[in-house]
Amino acid sequence: MFNFLPEQASEYAPDVDWVHHLITDLSVFFTVAIVGTMIYYAIRYRRRGGVDHETPQITGSHTLEIIWTVVPTIVSIFLAYYGIEVYRKMREIPKDAVTINVWGRKWKWDFEYETGKKTTSELIVPVNKSVKLVMQSRDVLHSLFIPAMRTKKDVIPGQYTYQVFKPVKTGDYPVFCTEYCGTEHWNMLANLRVVSEAEYDRWVHDLTVEGGTPAERGKILYTEKGCNACHSLDGSAVIGPSFLKLWGKQEELADGSKALVDENYIKESILNPNAKLVKGYPAAMPAFDGQLSDDEINAFIAFIKTVDGSQPVVKIAAPVKKDDPAEWAKLSPVQRGEKWIKEKAAPACVTCHSLDGSKLVGPSFKGLYNREAALEGGTKAVANDEYIKNSILNPMAQISQGYPPSMPPAYQTQLKDEDIKDIIEYFKTLK
Ligand code: CUA
C-alpha cells in the first residue's frame, strides 16, 4: 500500500519488504477500521438536545468473542512465521561468502579485506556474491546499518558479530551507525560501493600490504606464540587438537556438549582456553589473555581458515629474532639468558614454563637449577647443566613426572652451546 523504503539492492530485500509491507498494511487496515468505527459511533450517538439516553445492558456474545480471539491469533502466527523465515534466511552464511572484517570506533568504520587491504569509511564489495561482515568494536557499542541491503547488527567490544548480504546491483549506498555512541554518532557514516566481481578482484589484489596478508601474519603468530608446540597442521593429535580442517567444525566438548568453531569460539579458546575444552584433551593450554591484540586474533583466525586440507602441510620454521651482535655482546650472560627465555626462543619458553613457581604446561623455572626431579618411569635426575642442556635439545628424552610430553624439539637449530650456558646462568638467578 505504501512504499517509503530505500532501493532494494540485496537478494533478500524483497522478502524483508514483503513482511514489512504485510505488517504495515495490516496495521493500517485495523487502525482505520477500529478508530473509524469509534469516531463514527461517537458522532452517531452523541448527546443531542440536552437529553441523556440510558445505555442498554448488553451481555456477552460467544460468536463475537471467538472471532476476535481466533482471527488475530491466526494473523499473529502468520506474521511470526514469515518474520522468522526471512530472518533465518538472512543469517545463513554461504560457504563461498567474501569475508570482510569490520571495526567500529568513535566515530569511523574501518574495513579489512581477506588480502589485508584496508579502507576507512568506504566498504567495497563485489556484486552477486554473498558478503559476510565480521564485526568488532574498538570502544563502545555501535551498530552497522545498510538500509539498501536491509541489514543491521550491533557491533560489540570483545565479541564478534556478523551480518550477511548479497548485493544484486552495483552502485553506492549509505551505511549508518544506528546505536547512539557519543557526540559524533550522527556523523559515523560510510559508503558501501558495490562493484563488478572482476573490478573487486582487481582492486582487492592490487596491493603491497605491509607484513603480508592477515593469513600470512597469522601463520607467523602460530610459531611465534608457540601454538605449534601443541597444535599440528597435519591432523595429528599432539597436546591440543590439530588445526587441520578445524574451521567450521562441530567440536565435541569435554562436558558432552558441542561447539561450532567460528570466530567467537577461536577467540575464546585463545583468551580462556578452558572455557570450552575439547573432549579427550588435557586442560594444559595457558591463557593468552593480554598477549594477542584483537588484530592479531583476526589474523590468526584468517590463518586457521587456510588450514583446510587444500594445501599440503609445510613445516614452518620458527623465525629467529636478529639482535645487533655488538649490543648482544654488551649484555651479561644472565641478561642474554633472560632474553632467550622470555622472548627470543620460539616458541617462547615462558608460554609453558612459569618463572614464579606456578604450574603451567611444563615445570616452573623457579628453583629449577640443581633441583631433584622425579621423571616418568620412576627414575630421578638432578637438574644440573648437563640435564638442562639435554632437556632443551632433546625434550622427549626425560619427561618430568606429572607433565605431558609436549615440548617441541624446536630449539636445536636456534641455540648454540654458549646460548645454553647463558640460559643456565639465568636459571641460577631464579631461586
Ligand atoms: Cu557509532 Cu553511533
What tens digit of pLDDT does each residue of 226-235 get?
Answer: 787 788 888 7
Closest atom of ligand 1 relative to the 141 alpha carbon: 1
Per-range mean pLDDT, top range of 126-140, 200-214, 299-313: 126-140
Alpha helices by DSSP H, 364-409 = 385-393
What tens digit of pLDDT does each residue of 10-34 get?
Answer: 888 888 998 888 899 989 999 999 9
Dist CA 54 CA 360 (whole Å): 87
Percent of the chain whose pLDDT exceeds 70? 93
Closest atom of ligand 1 relative to the 180 alpha carbon: 2
pLDDT at 410: 64
The better pLDDT of the pair 1, 165 is held by 165
Flag whether pLDDT at 406 surpasses 70. Answer: no
Q: Whose CA is nearest to atom 1 of ligand 1?
A: 142
pLDDT at 319: 53
Which residues does residue 381 pair with via DSSP β-bridges, in sequence order?
373
Flag whether pLDDT at 131 surpasses 70. Answer: yes
Q: Which residues contact 407 (CB under 8 A, 6 or more apart)?
A: 229, 352, 362, 391, 395, 396
Establish whether residue 185 lines the binding site of ligand 1, counting it when its CB lies within 6 angstroms of any ligand atom: yes
What tens digit of pLDDT does each residue of 353-387 get?
Answer: 888 887 777 788 888 888 887 887 778 888 888 88
Q: Which helix (H) or strand (E) covers residue 18, if one does?
A: helix 13-44
- Tell me, in angstroms, the distance from the centre of ligand 1 to residue 176's CA: 8
pLDDT category at 422 given cuts 50, 70, 90 is: confident
Instruction: Return mean pLDDT, the chain.
Output: 84
Dist CA 232 CA 362 (whole Å): 19
Establish whether residue 155 lines the binding site of ligand 1, counting it when its CB lies within 6 angstroms of any ligand atom: no
Q: Which helix (H) or strand (E) covers residue 382, if one does?
A: strand 380-382
- Tell me, in angstroms, the distance from the centre of ligand 1 to residue 153's CA: 12
Alpha helices by DSSP H, 255-309 = 263-271, 294-306
Strands 171-177 and 118-120, by their bridges, are unpaired
Average pLDDT score over residue span 172-182: 93
Establish whether residue 175 lines the binding site of ligand 1, counting it when its CB lies within 6 angstroms of any ligand atom: no
- Tell me, in angstroms, the distance from the centre of ligand 1 to residue 131's CA: 22
Closest atom of ligand 1 relative to the 182 alpha carbon: 2
Backbone angles phi, psi at 171, to 5 degrees: 145, -175
Strands 372-374 and 380-382, by their bridges, are antiparallel
Flag whether pLDDT at 165 surpasses 90. Answer: yes
Write out the three cell numbers for 251. 567440536
Establish whether residue 190 lines the binding site of ligand 1, counting it when its CB lies within 6 angstroms of any ligand atom: no
Per-range mean pLDDT, top range of 143-157, 199-213, 358-372: 143-157
pLDDT at 405: 63
pLDDT at 263: 86
pLDDT category at 80 given cuts 50, 70, 90 is: very high
Dist CA 385 CA 396 (whole Å): 17
pLDDT category at 224 given cuts 50, 70, 90 is: confident
Compute CA distances 4 → 8, 24, 30, 58, whole Å.
12, 11, 20, 44
Average pLDDT score over residue span 387-410: 74
Taking alpha carbons only, the member of 304, 299, 281, 426 closest to residue 353 is: 426
Establish whether residue 285 lines the binding site of ligand 1, counting it when its CB lies within 6 angstroms of any ligand atom: no
- Tell me, in angstroms, the distance from the centre of ligand 1 to residue 187's CA: 8
Write out the three cell numbers for 139. 570502544
What tens digit of pLDDT does each residue of 238-285 get?
Answer: 778 888 888 888 888 888 888 888 888 888 888 888 888 888 887 777
pLDDT at 234: 81
pLDDT category at 180 given cuts 50, 70, 90 is: very high
pLDDT at 404: 66
Dist CA 375 CA 91 (whole Å): 53
- Tell me, in angstroms, the distance from the centre of ligand 1 to residue 117's CA: 24
| pTM as predicted | 0.66
Alpha helices by DSSP H, 158-242 = 197-205, 214-224
Establish whether residue 181 lines the binding site of ligand 1, counting it when its CB lies within 6 angstroms of any ligand atom: yes
Respond yes or no on whether the N-terminal peptide bond of residue 347 is cis (omega within 30° of 0).
yes
- Tell me, in angstroms, the distance from the centre of ligand 1 to residue 421's CA: 56
Taking alpha carbons only, the member of 111, 296, 304 closest to residue 204 is: 111
Compute CA distances 298 → 24, 104, 129, 381, whole Å.
41, 14, 22, 43
